[in-house]
Amino acid sequence: MKIKNIEIINRINGLGAVADLPLPVRLTYAIRKNARKLEMEYNDYFESLTALKEKYQDDKESPEYTKELNDLLNIEVDIDFHMVPETMLEVVEFDITLQQLAALDFMIE
């Protein structure tokens, strides 16, 4: 699945919000596996962000910095997510909010 760096940041935050919920073991496994994949890509993004901040350390308000930052946030990477069937959410009863479910939507097939 192609995903932008900005989406990686949002997905990591979303998975963090559901990581401690009492969920079915297959779903918990998929969450952890996908979180690791996202974190690996995030590390590459973070290295580039750090270099960008160093480059513009005295001029973070410049249009060039803003453009390069937006370019970095919009770079697409391809991640092979561990998917879970939608039926898993129907078979097992557990409490999950709509917002928490939305954090998982990218990994439900």
**Cβ contacts of 56 within 8 Å, gap of 6 or more:** 62, 64, 65, 68
Angle between helices 25-55 and 5-18 (to 10 degrees): 140
Per-residue pLDDT at 102 exceeds 80:
yes
Q: What pLDDT, on a 0 to 100 scale, did the predictor assign at position 33?
A: 95
- Predicted TM-score (pTM) of this structure: 0.86
pLDDT digits (tens, 9 = 90+) for 19-56: 888 888 888 899 999 999 999 999 999 999 999 999 99
CA dist 40 and 50 (Å) reads 16
Tokens of 14: 């979303």
CA dist 32 and 27 (Å) reads 9
- Among 23-27, 32-36, 70-74, 105-109, the range scoring the smallest mean pLDDT is 23-27
* Structural domain boundaries in the chain: 2-107
